[in-house]
C-alpha cells in the first residue's frame, strides 16, 4: 500500500528530528535520494553522467536546499550543473556546497529570465526545487514567469530533458493536489519521508509523473495516512474467495436497478460487470424491454419487473443508464437506497438522492455529476465546485466535500479514482489506462463494486489490517472495485498491443485479473486459492 500524507503531517513528523538538531542530516538524506534517482534514471536511459547538463531551479527555502545539495552531488560526478536561484536568495549551506562542488549559480532577474529558460529547456536533466511543502498557493512572480517561459521554449524548440520534481512539482499543493499557477510537469517526483497526498490526486498526480519515496528517518513519526493506494498485496487480501461449501446465496446476491428504454445497454453492462466480479447471483429489476435484452445477453441474470421489497439481495446497484423521466426505476432506486443494505448509487440515481445518507451507500459520479451534486448540496450561489472544471481542478477536496455533505462514501471516477468517506479517510487508485474513458465503462465499474458489496456482508474484520475505522471498509471495497476495473482495462488493452478497448472487453478481462491478483500472497509470492484442493 502506498500511504500518502498532507504536507502538515510530514512537517509534524519532522519536528522531533529538527528539535534534536538533525535538520541538515534530513536534508542530506533527501538530497542523496534525489541525486541517486537522477543517476538511476540516466543509466536506465543509457545516458552517461559525465558532461550531461543539469539545471536546478532552486527556491529560497529548504526545498531549494535539497535541490542544491543534490546538484552538488551530481556536479561531483562530473555533470555540468547550473542553479537558477528563483527567490533572490538560497539555502546558504546548500548553495556553498553546490559552489564548492563546481556548480555555477545564476540569479533569476528580468534580464536573465529568457536565456535561463532556454538553458533549462535544453538541459538533459531539470531538477524542480522551487517550492515544496512550505508553498502557500501556486507559483507567482518571476518563478511563475520562468516556468511559463520554459514550457514555451520546450513547445517551440522541443526540449526533451528529464524533469525531476524535488518532493513535489513546485506549485502543486501537497495536501490537495491543486495547482493555482503554472507547473513544470515532472517525469519523476522524488518525495521525502512519505508520499504527499497531492501527488496521488489530480491535477497534482498528472504533474507528478512517477512517484518515488525516499525514506529520511521520519517514518516512525508519521500518523495514519490522509490517502491510501491499494497495491497488489492488499488487493489480494481483500478479494473474497468462496468457501468450500458455498452456495449461490451465501456468495452474495446483487440486485440491479439500471437501464431504461433509452439506455438499455447500461443494464447489460452493469450485469456483465457484476457477473464477472464473483457474485453468487444477479437479480435485475427494470422495464420488460430492458429485461428482455438482459436475458438475451446474460442468461445467468434473474429478471423481474417487481418491487425492491420483494427481492432478497445482499446489496443493490441503482442508477446506471437511468434518466429523470424513468419514474418507476427511480422509485425502485429510492427504495433500494432506503433499504439499509449496501448500495452503489450511480449516474441517474445521483440527482434523486435523499438528503442524508450513510457510508454503506457508495456514490460513483464522474466529475460532471459530482459538480451537479455539489451544486445542489452547497446551494448554487456558494458552490465552490459549480462545474466539471472546478471539480477537476481540486478532485480530492471535491470528493471529501461530497462525502461530508452527503454522509455517503463517494467515488470520483478519473485517471486517479478517489474514494472518500465522511470522516475524511480516502483512497486513490490509478491502475487503469486512458482507454477506459469509453461509453459503458462506468456501468461495468458500478456492477463490479455492487458485486463486491454483495459479497462483503457486514464483516469488518477483513479490513482491520488497513488501519481504518469500520466505515472505511466501504471505501476499501469501492477502491478494490476501481483497482480491478483499472487493471482489467489495462490488461484488455495490453492484449491488443495497447490498442483501444470496449466496456464489454473490460468486463471480460475481470475474472482472469481476479484470479491473478488473488493468487498473490502478501509477500508477493503466489499462493493457492483458498478453495482449491491440495494436490496429493
Ligand atoms: N523540514 C525538514 O526538516 C525537511 C524539509 N525538507 C524539504 O523542505 C521543504 C519544505 O521547506 P520549506 O518549509 O523551507 O518550504 P519551501 O522550500 O517549500 O518554500 C518556502 C519558501 O518559499 C516561499 N514561498 C511560499 N509560497 C510561495 C509562493 N507561492 N511563491 C513564491 N514563494 C513562496 C516562502 O516564503 C519560503 O521562503 C520540503 O518540501 C522538502 O523538500 C527536506 O529537506 C527534508 C527535511
Ligand atoms: K519542488
pLDDT digits (tens, 9 = 90+) for 170-193: 999 999 999 999 999 999 999 999
Distances (CA, A) of 111 to 106, 117, 143, 145: 11, 11, 13, 12
Q: In what order do the strands lie in the sheet with 125-129?
A: 104-107, 80-85, 53-58, 125-129, 162-166, 188-192, 210-214
List pLDDT tens digits, range 386-407.
Answer: 899 999 999 999 999 999 999 9
Residue 243: pLDDT band by 50, 70, 90 thresholds? Answer: confident
pLDDT of res. 521: 57
- The answer to whether residue 116 scores a pLDDT higher than 70 is yes
What's the CA angle centered on 359, arms 374 and 268, to 5 degrees? Answer: 80
Distance between CA atoms of residues 108 and 199, nearest Å: 27
The pLDDT of 51-57, averaged and rounded, is: 96
CA of 367 to the centre of ligand 1 (A): 32
Distance CA 486, CA 482 (A): 6
What does the block give as the cell for 359? 457510508
Span 62-68, average pLDDT: 98
Share of the chain above pLDDT 90, in %: 89
- Round to whole Å and give the CA distance between 378 and 398: 12
Ligand 1, pocket residues at CB < 6 Å: 14, 18, 23, 26-27, 30, 59-64, 66, 131-140, 143, 166-167, 192, 216
Answer yes or no: is pLDDT of 102 > 80. Answer: yes
Q: Cell numbers for 123, please give them.
A: 538541459
What pLDDT is recorded for position 89? 93
Ligand 1 atom with least separation from CA of 180 = 29
CA of 397 to the centre of ligand 2 (A): 21
CA pair distance 311, 282, nearest whole angstrom: 11
Residue 415 C-alpha cell reads as 485517471
Task: Enumerate the known binding-site residues for (6S)-NADPHX.
Answer: 62-66, 132-138, 167, 266, 321, 366, 443
Domains of the chain from N-terminus onward:
2-229 (3.40.50.10260), 232-518 (3.40.1190.20)
Average pLDDT of span 48-53: 93
- Ligand 1 centre from 76 Cα, in Å? 25
Atom of ligand 1 nearest to the CA of 65: 43
181 close to 138: Cβ distance less than 8 angstroms: yes
Q: What is the pLDDT of residue 528?
A: 47
pLDDT tens-digit readout, 456-498 = 988 899 999 999 999 999 999 999 999 999 999 999 999 999 9
Paired sense of beta strands 409-412 and 281-285, if any: unpaired
Query: What does the mean pLDDT of the chain come to?
Result: 94
CB 502 within 8 A of CB 221: no
Over residues 57-73, the mean pLDDT reads: 98
Sign for the CA dihedral angle at 30, 32, 33, 35 comes to: positive
DSSP state of 179: B
The CB density around residue 25, as the number of other CB atoms within 10 Å, is 13
In 239-278, which residue ranges form alpha helices assigned H by DSSP?
264-276
For 129, phi then psi, to 5°, come to -130, 45
Positions of E strands within 332-480: 343-345, 361-363, 409-412, 417-420, 426-429
Average pLDDT over residues 23-45: 96
For CA atoms 503, 505, 510, 516, the dihedral sign is negative
Q: What percent of the chain has pLDDT over 70?
A: 97
Given a cut of 70, whether residue 531 has pLDDT beyond it is: no
Task: Look up the ipTM and state it.
Answer: 0.97
Amino acid at each position: 500500500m502506498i500511504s500518502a500524507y498532507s504536507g502538515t503531517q510530514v512537517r509534524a513528523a519532522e519536528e522531533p528530528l529538527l528539535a534534536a538538531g538533525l535538520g541538515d542530516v534530513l536534508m542530506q538524506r533527501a538530497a542523496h535520494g534525489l541525486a541517486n534517482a537522477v543517476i538511476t534514471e540516466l543509466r536506465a536511459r543509457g545516458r552517461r553522467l559525465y558532461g550531461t547538463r543539469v539545471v536546478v531551479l532552486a527556491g529560497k527555502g529548504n526545498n531549494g536546499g535539497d535541490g542544491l545539495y543534490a546538484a552538488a552531488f551530481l556536479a561531483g560526478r562530473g555533470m555540468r550543473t547550473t542553479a537558477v536561484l528563483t527567490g533572490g536568495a538560497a539555502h546558504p549551506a546548500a548553495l556553498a556546497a553546490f559552489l564548492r562542488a563546481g556548480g555555477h549559480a545564476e540569479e533569476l532577474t528580468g534580464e536573465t529570465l529568457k536565456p535561463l529558460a532556454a538553458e533549462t529547456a535544453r538541459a538533459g536533466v531539470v531538477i524542480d526545487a522551487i517550492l515544496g511543502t512550505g508553498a502557500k498557493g501556486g507559483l507567482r512572480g518571476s518563478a511563475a514567469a520562468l516556468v511559463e517561459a520554459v514550457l514555451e521554449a520546450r513547445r517551440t524548440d522541443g526540449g526533451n530533458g528529464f524533469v525531476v520534481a524535488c518532493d513535489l512539482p513546485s506549485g502543486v499543493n501537497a495536501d490537495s493536489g491543486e495547482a493555482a499557477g503554472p507547473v513544470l510537469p515532472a517525469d519523476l517526483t522524488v518525495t521525502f519521508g512519505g508520499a504527499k497526498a497531492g501527488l496521488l490526486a489530480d491535477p497534482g498526480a498528472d504533474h507528478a509523473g512517477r512517484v518515488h519515496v525516499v525514506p529520511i528517518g521520519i517514518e516512525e513519526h508519521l500518523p495514519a495516512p490522509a490517502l491510501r493506494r491499494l497495491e497488489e498485496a492488499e488487493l489480494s487480501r481483500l478479494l473474497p474467495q468462496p468457501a468450500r461449501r458455498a452456495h449461490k446465496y451465501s456468495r452474495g446476491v446483487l440486485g440491479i436497478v439500471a437501464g431504461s428504454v433509452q439506455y438499455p445497454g447500461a443494464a447489460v453492462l452493469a450485469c456483465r460487470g457484476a457477473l464477472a466480479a464473483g457474485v453468487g447471483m444477479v437479480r435485475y429489476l427494470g422495464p420488460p424491454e430492458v429485461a428482455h435484452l438482459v436475458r438475451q445477453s446474460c442468461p445467468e441474470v434473474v429478471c423481474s419487473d417487481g418491487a425492491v421489497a420483494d427481492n432478497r439481495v445482499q446489496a443493490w446497484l441503482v442508477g446506471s443508464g437511468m434518466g429523470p423521466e424513468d419514474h418507476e426505476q427511480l422509485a425502485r432506486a429510492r427504495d433500494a437506497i432506503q433499504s439499509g443494505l449496501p448500495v452503489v448509487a450511480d449516474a441517474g440515481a445521483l440527482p434523486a438522492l435523499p438528503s442524508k445518507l450513510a457510508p454503506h451507500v457508495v456514490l460513483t459520479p464522474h466529475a460532471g455529476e459530482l459538480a451537479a451534486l455539489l451544486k445542489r448540496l452547497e446551494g448554487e450561489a456558494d458552490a465552490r465546485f459549480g462545474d466539471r472544471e472546478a471539480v477537476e481542478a481540486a478532485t480530492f477536496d471535491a470528493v471529501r466535500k461530497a462525502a461530508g455533505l452527503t454522509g455517503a462514501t463517494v467515488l470520483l471516477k478519473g485517471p486517479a479514482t478517489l474514494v472518500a468517506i465522511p470522516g475524511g479517510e480516502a483512497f486513490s487508485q490509478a491502475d487503469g489506462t486512458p482507454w477506459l474513458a469509453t461509453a459503458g465503462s462506468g456501468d461495468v465499474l458500478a456492477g463490479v463494486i455492487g458485486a463486491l458489496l454483495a459479497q462483503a456482508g457486514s464483516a469488518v474484520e477483513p479490513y482491520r489490517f488497513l488501519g481504518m475505522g469500520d466505515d472505511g471498509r466501504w471505501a476499501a471495497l469501492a477502491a478494490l472495485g476501481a483497482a480491478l476495473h483499472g487493471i482489467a482495462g489495462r490488461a484488455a488493452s495490453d492484449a491488443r498491443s495497447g490498442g483501444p478497448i470496449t466496456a464489454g472487453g473490460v468486463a471480460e478481462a475481470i475474472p482472469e485479473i481476479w484470479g491473478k491478483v488473488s493468487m498473490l500472497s502478501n509477500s508477493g509470492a503466489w499462493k493457492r486459492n483458498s478453495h482449491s484442493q491440495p494436490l496429493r
